[in-house]
Chain A
Amino acid sequence: MTAAEQIEKIFRAEHGRVLAALISQFEDFDLAEDSLQDALVNALERWETDGIPRNPGAWLTTAAKRRAIDRVRRSTTLERSLVTLDPQISQDEPEMDDSQLPDDRLKLMFTCCHPSLAPEAQVALTLHTLGGLTTPEIARAFLVSEPTMAQRLARARAKIRNAGIPYRVPPIDLLPGRLDALLAVIYLIFNEGYVATSGDSLTRQELSREAIRQCRILVDLLPGEAETSGLLALMLLHDSRRETRLSPTGELVLLEEQDRTLWDSSKIQEGIIILDSAIALHAPGPYQVQAAISALHAEAPTAEATDWRQIAALYTTLATMTPSVVVEVNRAVAVAMAFGPQTGLDILLQLESQAEGFYPYHAARADLLRRTNQREAASDAYKRALELCGNRAERAYLQRRLDEMIDL
């Protein structure tokens, strides 16, 4: 790793904690961000020549605080002069130890994921403030222009300030709902990096990695929340199959056709250990159930050895927790695998009116019709799925199946 790469890695790792501490001290999101940007520019120059300091987080915090105070002094607006200055910071302050840095990242997470902000703004803010991703990087990941992303971030920050979104860990009565919102944002970031196939694959991988990193921090800072651990386990288990879910030509590869020897066994092991610790808390929830389903796939040595009965039962549980067409379609597939394709087709038939415009429904139906040798009906279903599906990798898969139906 070059010095520049190493510095960038440190910036990413320290960004959230330093920014959170600055916002706590100055009670001003914009001032904290601007000062941290100054400090990062400063650090880039200094560290490349002097080497990386022993406590980079503390170095950045001290530098940013000085910049913030400079900014406040230079600023003449009423707003800025209201900031209370900490008289203890001076130019010759001895270097702090990183362990003395307060960890206010939880506050920052809850502020960035406040449900009064639009979901896409929550995602962008979280990546920017906690993940230290730059505006161009986030813009690239979400396929929007840089000015659009910059405006989205600026608007969200303005709302935090103008609407009085609090900077704190929510009180106990609000916590469950707000934690759900926070987990939803993390999972959204993960899926954006995992499911979508458009855009730069490296950037995408970065998103999934960042979601896992943020979830780990959340598990550390707010321990004892079963669903947080459940989500972490779920993401690790999904991510263990990242390399095998697409063929070299970019076609989606179904679980049963993936090369299991290429699955990342260390991620699987870690995911299962974390899931077990979550289940031991006796507070079941949809992330834990989905992680359990993913674990059953991961543990099966071959596709044939998959415990489909157990998976079907877990989907039934999931359907009672979070009823949706998506869950029902998945349940139908699992039931088909456990008890034969016709049982699955029967479940799908009942969904027809709600699921007509939903391509996974048609894709699942097509696969089950194919398995029962109803080739013509399967072709029609593949065609309908293709009409509705916009994902390149999945389209490639559906097209191949459709061609097989016609060729035979």
Chain B
Amino acid sequence: MKYLLLMYASESMFPPPEEIQADVPAWHALLQETKEAGVLISTNGLAPGTNATTVRIREGRTMLTDGPFAETHEQLGGYFLLDCKDLDEAIRWAEKIPTVKYGSIEVRPLWSPGS
């Protein structure tokens, strides 16, 4: 079985930088352990939610919203990790995912230094 472990946290309740820094060895240890155990397929952090764009198509029209605004009753149903030239290209792919017509696709850049 493959499992997707989703890391949820409230950005406004992040611990202070020292505490985050103190966790760095724990992150490294976890990466090492999961690799050695042969269970790790892929892991990544995401850029803060303020960089997200939500894509929906309703009545044939693409609607973009600033931010991660899935409806509260919407459940995460899957993901694509794509390497795109820019946000417009990522949106084009998002528009082709069939669930975009009734659900929403959150386009979120991966975490990178400075984001």
Residues of chain A at the chain B interface (Cβ within 8 Å): 77-79, 114-118, 121, 155, 158-159, 161-166, 170, 174, 177
With a cutoff of 8 Å between Cβ atoms, the chain B residues found around residue A170 in the complex are 88
Asked, given contacts A158-B50, A159-B51, A162-B47, whether A118 binds B66 with beta carbons under 8 Å apart, the answer is yes
With a cutoff of 8 Å between Cβ atoms, the chain B residues found around residue A115 in the complex are 64
Within 39-80 of B, Cβ neighbours of A (below 8 Å) are at 47-48, 50-53, 62, 64, 66-67
Q: Are A163 and B67 in contact (CB under 8 A)?
A: no
B36 is an interface residue with CB less than 8 A from chain A: no
With a cutoff of 8 Å between Cβ atoms, the chain B residues found around residue A164 in the complex are 84-87, 90, 109
Q: Are A116 and B66 in contact (CB under 8 A)?
A: yes
Query: In the complex, A155 Cα to B87 Cα: how many Å?
Result: 16
Asked, given contacts A78-B113, A115-B64, whether A165 binds B86 with beta carbons under 8 Å apart, the answer is yes
Q: Are A118 and B87 in contact (CB under 8 A)?
A: no
Pick the contact of B87: A79, A163, A177 (CB < 8 A).
Answer: A163
Pick the contact of A159: B50, B84, B91, B113 (CB < 8 A).
Answer: B50
With a cutoff of 8 Å between Cβ atoms, the chain B residues found around residue A77 in the complex are 114
B12 is an interface residue with CB less than 8 A from chain A: no
Q: Are A162 and B115 in contact (CB under 8 A)?
A: yes
A220 to B: closest C-beta gap in Å: 25
Closest-by-CB residue of A relative to B61 is A177
B43 to A: closest C-beta gap in Å: 19
Number of residues in B with C-beta < 8 Å to the partner? 23
Q: Are A116 and B114 in contact (CB under 8 A)?
A: no
B108 to A: closest C-beta gap in Å: 8
Query: In the complex, A257 Cα to B20 Cα: how many Å?
Result: 66
Given contacts A162-B47, A164-B90, A166-B87, 15 further A-B contacts (CB under 8 A): A78-B113, A115-B64, A116-B53, A116-B66, A116-B91, A121-B66, A158-B50, A158-B51, A159-B51, A161-B114, A161-B115, A163-B52, A163-B53, A164-B85, A164-B109
Q: Are A79 and B51 in contact (CB under 8 A)?
A: no
A-B contact pairs, 23 of them (CB 8 A): A79-B113, A114-B87, A116-B64, A116-B66, A118-B66, A118-B67, A121-B66, A155-B50, A158-B50, A158-B51, A159-B66, A161-B114, A162-B47, A162-B51, A163-B87, A163-B109, A164-B84, A164-B85, A164-B87, A165-B86, A165-B87, A166-B85, A174-B88
Query: In the complex, A164 Cα to B87 Cα: how many Å?
Result: 5
Closest-by-CB residue of B relative to A77 is B114
Query: In the complex, A389 Cα to B85 Cα: how many Å?
Result: 47
Q: Are A116 and B50 in contact (CB under 8 A)?
A: no
With a cutoff of 8 Å between Cβ atoms, the chain A residues found around residue B115 in the complex are 158, 161-162
Closest-by-CB residue of B relative to A163 is B51
Closest-by-CB residue of A relative to B112 is A162
Asked, given contacts A116-B91, A164-B109, A165-B86, whether A79 binds B64 with beta carbons under 8 Å apart, the answer is no
Q: Are B87 and A116 in contact (CB under 8 A)?
A: yes
Asked, given contacts A79-B114, A116-B87, A174-B88, whether A163 binds B47 with beta carbons under 8 Å apart, the answer is yes
